[in-house]
Structure 1
Amino acid sequence: MLNVHSYESMGTFDGPGLRLVVFLQGCNFKCLYCANPDTITLKGGTPTDVEEIVKMAISQKAFFGKRGGVTVSGGEPTLQAKGLIKLFKRLKEEGIHTCIDSNGSVYNDDVDELLNYVDIVLLDVKHFNPEWHKKITNQTNDKTLLMAKRLEERGIKFWLRYVLVPEYTDQVEHMNALGEYFKEFKHLERMEILPYHTLGKHKYEHLDMPYHLEGVKDNTPKQLEQAKALFEKYIKHVVVN
């Protein structure tokens, strides 16, 4: 069983091609800019049998083509790694491409086994500086960076995802340090810059939760272009998602 928050069919922003995106309930980070604060708590969600998700994926398989498939996001999907092993085994049996979108902070025996059935990982690096990372997520980034090294060692393809938040993640020295760290990774296929937005702000009001980035403005096109140009000095394929 997996505790599912919601689904998105024909997603185009969570991995290659068209994808069925499964959002799981529960996260161990508390990102200040989280667009889905309703997925943070471990409570809630819908207990769902793996075969139900497999049937949904098979019904959409014709639309996936050669590149698409299933992405499991969250929340933080690796918190439910044991259930994901069963799901991804079945998806591979059905010839369906698999992907997880993860903050990389969980690595145990279940996650180690799960990676045997993962085609690509979307690795969310919230900040390269550990103090800023903790300020943003309430956790340090050492485990995330360790996950990146493990993916590289195991030859697992991955994409970096980086949310560009004005005054929080746009410090040039730390962005350069991030690029320098990852420039030699052979299995890093691309980097996605995710623009900061406030589309999920209304959810905080609905949940009676404070929104801590009040007054922070969306990125300008120039800010996004400058960030892209900076990271392109280190990483071959950089896109603004």
Structure 2
Amino acid sequence: MNVIGRIHSLESCGTVDGPGIRFVVFMQGCPLRCQFCHNPDTWDTNKGIEYTPEQLMREIVKYKSYMGFSGGGVTFTGGEPLMQQGFILEMSKRCKAEGITVAIDTSGFIWNDDVKEILEYTDIVLLDIKNYNPIVYEEVTGVSLSPTLEFLDYLKEKKIKTWIRYVLVPGLTDNIESIRELSKHLSDYPNVSKIELLGFHKMGEYKWKELGIEYKLSATKEPSEELMKEVKNIFELSGKLVAVNV
């Protein structure tokens, strides 16, 4: 298939983007403008390095034994990988043909029949839910929450293994009542096996400055241990495994 992908960067032995050791493909382009994004350099769809599926597969298969031994695979993240649907579909098919599992790390904002086809070749989805309050969600991301919730419902319908990711930002996504509602909502999704609670950090702030973009969270502190513990306890009420990453 004659399709080209634009890739921001590659990580050969990732351990935080799905189970096991993973080959992580950071795709270029994203429709969201999250205030806490640590990779704003992935937003522009015209940047990145062009790869053919053949070129990328040559890189991936070098690490096939490590992925297989550890229960890992390939993770397509970004940016938003589902902006490049043709390339992701082709790569997912090729990975599956090689016996390599596929994870998609997505906001769930892009939702159409092409995405449904990609999910047929997806072993696990890492679904980033930025907030459960639709007003706060739009403030955080610049887009609507509703496509993500539709995406989540479809994952449940198709029984696709899902991990939820939630970034805790003091003064922005720490609205406790909304977190309680999200926890209760997720309790009804048997396909969701894990919630990853991620602590806000500012390691990507310098990228905003280099790009000439205003970074609104310069004065925001990382969440306290007490706040992380409180939110972890709330998410555990969903009956899911909760992992904390600070």
With the length of structure 2 as denominator, give the TM-score of the two structures: 0.96
User: Aligned pair 1:45/2:43, yes or no?
Assistant: no
What SS does structure 1 have at the residue aligned with 2:66? helix
Structure 2 partner of 1:9: 12
Contact 2:126/2:162 (CA < 8 Å) preserved in 1?
Answer: yes
**Which runs of no fewer than 5 residues in structure 2 stay unpaired?**
none
Structure 2 partner of 1:169: 173
Q: CA offsets, 1:50-73, max 9 Å, x none? A: 111111111001111251010000
What SS does structure 2 have at the residue aligned with 1:206? helix
2:127 aligned residue (101, 123, 129): 123
Structure 2 partner of 1:19: 22
1:33 aligned residue (24, 31, 36): 36
Contact 1:50/1:87 (CA < 8 Å) preserved in 2?
Answer: yes
CA RMSD of aligned residues (A): 0.9
Structure 2 partner of 1:147: 151
What SS does structure 2 have at the residue aligned with 1:63? helix
Structure 1 partner of 2:59: 56
- 1:1-241 aligned at under 5 Å gives the runs 1-64=4-67, 65-241=69-245
Contact 1:35/1:200 (CA < 8 Å) preserved in 2?
Answer: yes
Contact 2:21/2:70 (CA < 8 Å) preserved in 1?
Answer: no
Counting aligned pairs with the same residue, the percent is: 39
Q: CA offsets, 1:181-217, max 9 Å, x none? A: 1101010010000110000001111111110112100
Q: Distance in 2 between matches of 1:23 and 1:110?
A: 20
Aligned residues: 241
Q: CA deviation at 1:127?
A: 0.5
Q: CA deviation at 1:120?
A: 0.3
With the length of structure 1 as denominator, give the TM-score of the two structures: 0.98
State the one-letter code of the partner of 2:147.
K
Contact 2:192/2:240 (CA < 8 Å) preserved in 1?
Answer: no
Q: CA deviation at 1:142?
A: 0.4
State the one-letter code of the partner of 1:183.
S
Q: Which moved more, 1:26-35 or 1:46-55?
A: 46-55
Contact 1:160/1:190 (CA < 8 Å) preserved in 2?
Answer: yes
Q: Distance in 1 between matches of 2:129 and 2:239?
A: 15
Q: Distance in 1 between matches of 2:188 and 2:212?
A: 44
Q: Which moved more, 1:59-68 or 1:192-201?
A: 59-68
State the one-letter code of the partner of 2:119.
L
Q: Distance in 2 between matches of 1:191 and 1:98?
A: 19
What SS does structure 1 have at the residue aligned with 2:7? strand
State the one-letter code of the partner of 2:66.
F
